[in-house]
């Protein structure tokens, strides 16, 4: 069992479900960004997906596209990102982190070197939405990533359009957790209904014991309740960055507003 799966299973035992919010590094600024991370963990997050800003985020909807543009208007460096992870580890040494980003950024800065730095700073999973399962093994081989096999889990997606033979293969080879996409399309849509894809959860569980986390479209407590009917936990992203976007002129309010939102969400 890889380290992330073991960690998430232990977290789920404590409160019965997994809560993994997403936060893009540096939104709206590095100082407030750290306050947001602190708020998320204090509100009960088991882990956080820390997002690497990217200029062409193909899997992300309008809210996160605007988020990345906002961040990239300021100076961004991978070293600043690593330093941010280090601060999180220093303040929350028992928490495991996920990094979400697009493959060009990983390759640009050296994926093997990045994985080493990530692991040192409590990163136990990466989510790279523009690398399909079929290409992942090539990258692992090409860039000597086998040594991280049980240390940093490379998370796979299953979507409503995943073909049955691919679903089986993804589930059988899954590490950490499976990211279950609730609908076809990009992040941030307002509708959320898992009933049409309920059979997928049963199919996945036939082939793997890793946790299943639902993402895309989780914005309300009703969404959370539905997610937990079928999955082990949920991921929330766009709604939190909407709150940041709506309060750019009064940034001191942002952590408190996110705290209030999470209380409603988890009620």
CA 45 to chain centre: 12
The pLDDT assigned to 111 comes to 97
The pLDDT assigned to 101 comes to 95
The pLDDT assigned to 134 comes to 87
| CATH 3.30.1230.10 describes domain 17-265 | no
**66-105 per-position pLDDT tens digit:** 888 898 888 789 999 999 999 999 999 999 999 999 999 9
The pLDDT assigned to 188 comes to 46
Domain boundaries, the chain: 17-265
Question: Is residue 109 scored above 90 in pLDDT?
Answer: yes
Tell me the pLDDT of the chain averaged across its residues: 93
The pLDDT assigned to 35 comes to 98
Question: Is residue 41 scored above 70 in pLDDT?
Answer: yes
Report whether 121 contacts 86 (CB < 8 A): yes
Give the C-alpha distances (Å, rounded to integers) separating 77 from 19, 72, 117, 137, 148: 28, 10, 14, 28, 24
**172-223 per-position pLDDT tens digit:** 999 999 999 986 655 545 567 898 899 999 999 999 999 999 999 899 999 9
Question: Is residue 247 scored above 80 in pLDDT?
Answer: yes
pTM: 0.94
Report whether 115 contacts 145 (CB < 8 A): yes
Count the alpha carbons within 13 Å of 149 in the hemisphere toward its beta carbon: 7
Residues forming the active site: 49, 60
Could you tell me which of 60, 4, 6, 46 has the C-alpha nearest to residue 233?
Answer: 46
Question: Is residue 61 scored above 80 in pLDDT?
Answer: no
What's the pLDDT band for 38 if we cut at 50, 70, 90? Answer: very high
The structure tokens listed for 133 are 């399962």
Bridge partners (DSSP) of residue 88 are none
């Amino acid at each position: 069992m890889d380290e992330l799966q073991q960690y998430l299973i232990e977290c789920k035992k404590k409160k019965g479900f997994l809560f993994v919010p997403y936060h893009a590094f540096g939104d709206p600024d590095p100082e407030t960004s750290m306050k947001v991370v602190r708020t998320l963990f204090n509100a009960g997050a088991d882990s956080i997906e820390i997002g690497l800003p990217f200029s062409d985020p193909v899997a992300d909807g309008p809210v996160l596209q605007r988020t990345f543009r906002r961040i990239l208007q300021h100076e961004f460096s991978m070293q600043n990102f690593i330093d941010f992870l280090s601060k999180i580890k220093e303040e929350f040494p028992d928490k495991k982190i996920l990094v979400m980003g697009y493959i060009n950024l990983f390759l640009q800065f050296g994926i093997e070197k990045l994985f080493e730095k990530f692991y040192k700073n409590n990163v136990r999973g990466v989510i790279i939405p523009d690398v399909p399962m079929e290409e992942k093994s090539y990258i692992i081989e090409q860039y000597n990533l086998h040594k991280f096999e049980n240390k940093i889990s490379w998370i796979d997606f299953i979507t409503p359009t995943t073909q049955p033979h691919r679903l089986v293969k993804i589930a059988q080879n899954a590490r950490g957790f499976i990211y279950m996409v609730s609908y076809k399309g990009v992040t941030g849509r307002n509708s959320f209904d898992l009933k049409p894809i309920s059979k997928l959860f049963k199919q996945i569980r036939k082939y793997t014991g890793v946790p299943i986390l639902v993402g895309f479209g989780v914005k309300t407590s009703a969404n959370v309740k539905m997610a937990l009917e079928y999955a082990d936990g949920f991921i929330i992203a766009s709604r939190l960055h909407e709150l940041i976007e709506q309060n750019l002129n009064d940034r001191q309010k942002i952590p408190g507003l996110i705290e209030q939102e999470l209380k409603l969400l988890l009620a």
